[in-house]
Amino acid sequence: MDLYSTHAAYVFASYGLSALVLGLMIAAVLGKDRRTRRLLTLAANRSSPGNNGNQTDDQAS
Amino acid sequence: MALSSAIAIIFRHPLADAAAKVAAPLGAAFCFLALATGSIWGKPMWGTWWVWDARLTSMFVLMLLYLGYIAVWQAIDDPHRAAPLARIVALVGAINIPIVKFSVDWWNTLHQPSSVLKMGGSSIDSSMLWPLLVMGLAYMALFAVLHLIAIRTEIAARKVRTIHQLGIRTR
């Protein structure tokens, strides 16, 4: 491989790694946010007065 | 994180610890990315993936500090007991920030001296400086957005924990 091809390979490896790490980080943050807020909704429904504690979100609504 | 920890100690603001706690994984990811992509850059430019030079070593120490801070929160179940220890780790770890910044000026190792923020203006050509600044801003904006979302998540998690604790007490 010539010099430009070699350097291009390093550049794209760098881009690929950045995209992978940033993608995983964004997915982790958004995924945890969604899961936690769903848990909060469930916990709030269960703890509300008159609720028998066995209802899901859909049943409660 | 150090600023939030200082605010938590001085003003006892309830969100300060949460802000510091959720910034750590983001910081660790960015730090890993800087080390890894720097290493990929170093191979064609310096001819080596890694050397224990001042900047690289101080960045590696920063990475370990992030992991140590995260480990403190993970190791102690009770957040009220973990928070004071985590604050100390963050504040002691902040000592490393000027070491990272000035390492290339204090020690004459493989890494080039300061070239962006230096007396007399930047020594980088504008064709590289502007993309660097734009990407720097983009990374800061991404961090800000993810940090705000993560703080919201942490607040929701605290509410869930409180509801569970109240539920257990009233049963």
Q: Report the alpha-carbon distance of residue B93 to residue B8 in Å, rounded.
A: 16
A46, containing H or E segment: helix A3-47
What is the band of A4 on the pLDDT scale with cuts at 50, 70, 90? confident
Query: End-to-end distance of chain A based on CA atoms, in angstroms?
Result: 64
Residue A49: predicted pLDDT: 66
DSSP calls for B59-104: HHHHHHHHHHHHHHHHH-S-HHHHHHHHHHHHHHHTTHHHHHHHHH
Alpha-carbon torsion (B94, B98, B100, B106), positive or negative: negative
From A22, A26, A40, residue closest to B159, measured CB to CB: A40
Give the pLDDT score at B117. 79
Contact across the interface for B33 and A18, Cβ inside 8 Å: yes
**Mean pLDDT within A2-26:** 91
**What is the rounded end-to-end Cα distance, in angstroms, of chain B?**
38
Q: Do B163 and A18 touch (CB under 8 A)?
A: no
Per CB-CB distance under 8 Å, the chain B contacts of A29 are 26, 146, 149-150, 153
Could you report the predicted ipTM of this complex, rounded to two decimals?
Answer: 0.84
Cβ-nearest to A17 among B37, B153, B167: B37
Type of residue numbered B153? T
3-state secondary structure chain B: CHHHHHHHHHHCCHHHHHHHHHHHHHHHHHHHHHHHHHHHHHHHHHCCCCCCCHHHHHHHHHHHHHHHHHHHHHHCCCHHHHHHHHHHHHHHHCCHHHHHHHHHHHCCCCCCCCCCCCCCCCCCCHHHHHHHHHHHHHHHHHHHHHHHHHHHHHHHHHHHHHHHHHHHHHC
Query: Left, alpha or beta for A53 (phi > 0: left; psi -120 to 50: alpha)?
Result: left
Low-confidence ranges of chain B (pLDDT < 50): none
* Minimal C-alpha gap between A55 and chain B (Å): 16
Higher-scoring residue by pLDDT: A61, A42: A42
Q: What is the pLDDT of residues A43-57, one digit of tens each?
A: 888 877 665 545 454
A7 Cβ under 8 Å from any chain B Cβ = yes
Q: Are B115 and B132 in contact (CB under 8 A)?
A: no
Give the single-character DSSP code of B151: H
User: Are B156 and A25 within 8 A, CB to CB?
Assistant: no
